[in-house]
A and B are shown apart, each in its own frame.
Chain A
Amino acid sequence: MIPVVIPPDLWEGDAEGAVSAWLFAEGDAVRAGDLIAEVMVEKTSYDVTAPADGMLQIRIPAEIPFKRGAIIAAIG
């Protein structure tokens, strides 16, 4: 199981981010490098890519806030 981690240095301070859109559904097969989610922090958007090939397991659904460093999904 490979975690999809929001890098702790992606943004500064205590601001919370949220997935604005999951681009694949729970259980979908993804390939390393596929764009799997878009994360919004205030007015900035970041692209999240799959770290490995495998099946996507979403840990934090869209629009639920999290801090930087959070594990938002796992690839298994």
Chain B
Amino acid sequence: MTATATILPNRAKRNLTIAKAMAEALAQEMRRDPSVLVMGEDIAALGGVFGNTRGLLEEFGPARIRDTPISETGFIGAAVGMAAVGMRPVVELMFVDFFGVCMDAIYNMAAKNCYFSGGQSAVPMVLMTSVGGGYGDAGQHSQCLYGTFAHLPGMKVVVPSNAYDAKGLMVSAIRDNNPVIFMFHKALQGMGWLGTVQGSINDVPEDAYTVPFGQAAIARAGRDITIVGLGATVHLALDAAEELIANGIEAEVVDLRSLVPLDRATVNASVKRTGRLLVVDEDYQSYGVSGEIIASVVEAGTVLTSPPRRIAFPDIPIPFSPTLERPALPSAEKIVAAVTDMVRGGR
């Protein structure tokens, strides 16, 4: 008897933008689970202003891919109710800046109902929302607000920096029984008009897979300093690390990927090896992610050879004028300067 071996060809490399990776994750989970649906402004006929729901209306129809009126109060409140009765809604808050009118549904209901009900009423919803500036869209369309959401208990918060992570984190988010805030940076969507960061486009397997929450990634290994970033700032840190080679400095870049839960262990282990810590965050500086990371490392008793530093957005409304906005944003140049000073100056 002869066995016939099935030899599969090596899988061809398939590069996707974050937008396409998100759409693929949504489509695959919708095929698997009929309780999954998507709601939001311009997510159906247009396919999402950031491209992340393209093609879904054609496959799943208007009952499961629902364009909503411009009322975040209404449709995000509705999603909390849907989740309470067993559906798994994914809702899009087009710009995170619009959270003001729907925050009661998010942080007082979605985030707390499971606890209030003694675990009897889960809220399996995903809120996906665009963040970030750098393209002159002013103070109500450019914020990150990572810290605002990560500060409030009861929600998980994830921030992908590339297409592979975006797909795996979205699958994890949909399957999670808790509310998950999925924050995607506009510059990484591959939409052109927002600028496209090439490093965010990477190889994405076709089959569904999960990227677990609470696991940071070492985006680049190095021995002299740990640079912690999330979303778009990971790519600034990688660009800076490449330039720093010429100065004889090897930087390690940590991509947080998930803010809640936060992988403090990976950050601490990295800083233990390098002895230096720089946090790069596009959110406002005070009371936020950068302070939390630094505090976590200091609290762990990790010995530092120079004081920790951070590069974040100053505590001001984001200017419309590119001339004013650009210098306020984190950049690879700022990272190179800070790292060089920390390593060479010993400060």
Contact = CB atoms under 8 A, between A and B. Distances in A.
B316 interface: no
Contacts of A38: 17, 20, 190, 192
B115 to A, nearest CB: 42
A35 interface: yes
B14 A35 contact: yes
A19 to B, nearest CB: 7
Contact of B15 (A20, A23, A62): A23
Interface string A28-50: 00010011001010010100000
Contacts of B51: 45
B192 A20 contact: yes
Interface in A9-65: 18-25, 31, 34-35, 38, 40, 43, 45, 62-63
Interface string B169-212: 00000000000000000000011110110100100000000000
B192 A63 contact: yes
B195 to A, nearest CB: 8
Contacts of A45: 47, 51, 54
Interface string B224-244: 000000000000000000000
Given A18-B192, A40-B193, A63-B192, A23 B201 contact: yes
A43 B46 contact: yes
B340 to A, nearest CB: 29
Contacts of A18: 192
Contacts of B54: 45
B196 A63 contact: yes
B252 to A, nearest CB: 24
B193 A20 contact: yes
A64 to B, nearest CB: 10
A24 B16 CA distance: 9
B46 A21 contact: no
Contact of B16 (A20, A23, A63): A23
Nearest to B190: A21
B63 interface: no
Interface of A: 18-25, 31, 34-35, 38, 40, 43, 45, 62-63
Interface of B: 12-17, 20, 46-47, 51, 54, 190-193, 195-196, 198, 201
11 contacts: A20-B192, A20-B196, A21-B201, A24-B15, A31-B12, A34-B13, A35-B14, A40-B191, A45-B54, A63-B192, A63-B195
